[in-house]
Amino acid sequence: MSKIVILTGAGISAESGVATFRDPDGVWAKFNLEDVATPQGFARDPAKVQDFYNMRRRQMGAVEPNAAHAALAVLEQALPGKVLVVTQNIDDLHERAGSRSLIHMHGELGRALCLGCGESSAWVDDITVQSQCPACGAGGRLRPDVVWFGEMPYRMEEIGDALTGCDLFAAIGTSGNVYPAAGFVEEARAAGALTVELNLKCAGWASRFDEQIEGPATEVVPAFVERILSGKG
Ligand code: APR
């Protein structure tokens, strides 16, 4: 196995206690996506949006990486330079598990973006209208450094290069509802990669994969990593 790209979604963090988005008790069942995850919603009511992400940022202190996050870090350490994790998640559980070859295509809860100078800075506390940009000092110009609907995800060129150069593409705990991430399977397949979906319930886009592995991430991901490392690919 030469190059591996792994796409992760909210399902990989579900067993750590981080809610997914589209499951019955998910985030979008409780919050209006238009209000809290669009630039228009932020323009309409910035305090509502800040409250939403401040709540989720605070939650990060109460959750831990799980066996699925840990297994991906082990895979990366066992195959240095051959594994890239592309996550749609804005939590920091992959890093805390030890992943380093990692792209947050939808941004990070732990960063703030200044609308004044454009700088992205590490940020741990609540963002308020008083908050000052660590780079330029401007007050009241910070937003969560999260990619909202209608905005371009980060590092798409790097991701595209990795997809066309991989021979194994796996999607873990994502429903495949949101593009461009939902189109990665076709890019990898077109490059001749084996494509595998790992999900609690393989549905919707599952048929677009060569293989489906069903079960909770904390069970199926460590087994999948073991399979790769044992050379059974
Ligand atoms: N183990 C494995 N998979 C799971 C688990 C689990 N324990 N629990 C849930 N899942 C699966 C669900 O079956 C579902 O397919 O995780 C998936 C979660 O899907 P979504 O809630 O749609 O989350 P995701 O695919 O990451 O959303 C993509 O949409 O809302 C935006 O920007 C947000 O990054 C997010 C993007």
**Cα–Cα distance between 40 and 141 in angstroms, integer?**
16
Looking from the CA of residue 22, the nearest atom of ligand 1 is 21
Spell out the SS3 assignment of the chain: CCCEEEEECCHHHHCCCCCCCCCCCCHHHHCCHHHHCCHHHHHHCHHHHHHHHHHHHHHHHHCCCCHHHHHHHHHHHHCCCCEEEEECCCCCHHHHHCCCCEEECCEEEEEEEECCCCCEEECCCCCCCCCECCCCCCECCEEEEECCCCCCCCCHHHHHHHHHCCCEEEEECCCCCCCCHHHHHHHHHHCCCEEEEEECCCCHHHHHCCEEEECCHHHHHHHHHHHHHCCCC
Whether the per-residue pLDDT at 233 is higher than 80: the answer is: no
Distance from the alpha carbon of residue 174 to the mean position of ligand 1, in angstroms:
4
pLDDT at site 1 = 58
**Cα–Cα distance between 8 and 24 in angstroms, integer?**
20
What is the residue-averaged pLDDT of the chain? Answer: 96
The pLDDT tens digits for 60-84 are: 999 999 999 999 999 999 999 999 9
Q: Is there an atom of ligand 1 within 6 Å of 8 CB?
A: no
With 0-12 / 13-18 / 19 or more C-beta atoms within 10 angstroms meaning exposed / middle / buried, residue 8 is: buried
**Cα–Cα distance between 206 and 225 in angstroms, integer?**
20
**Cα–Cα distance between 147 and 153 in angstroms, integer?**
6
Whether the per-residue pLDDT at 138 is higher than 70: the answer is: yes
Catalytic residues: 106
Distance from the alpha carbon of residue 201 to the mean position of ligand 1, in angstroms:
10
pLDDT at site 223 = 98
Written as one letter, the residue type at 163 is L
**pLDDT category of residue 28 using cuts at 50, 70 and 90:** very high
pLDDT at site 103 = 98
pLDDT at site 108 = 98
pLDDT at site 76 = 98
**Cα–Cα distance between 220 and 227 in angstroms, integer?**
10
Q: Is there an atom of ligand 1 within 6 Å of 26 CB?
A: yes
Q: Is there an atom of ligand 1 within 6 Å of 221 CB?
A: no
Whether the per-residue pLDDT at 205 is higher than 90: the answer is: no
Distance from the alpha carbon of residue 162 to the mean position of ligand 1, in angstroms:
22
pLDDT at site 231 = 83
More confident residue, 130 or 57: 57
pLDDT at site 202 = 87
The pLDDT tens digits for 152-185 are: 999 999 999 999 999 999 999 999 999 999 999 9
Task: Give the mean model confidence (pLDDT) for residues 101-118.
Answer: 98
Q: Is there an atom of ligand 1 within 6 Å of 153 CB?
A: no
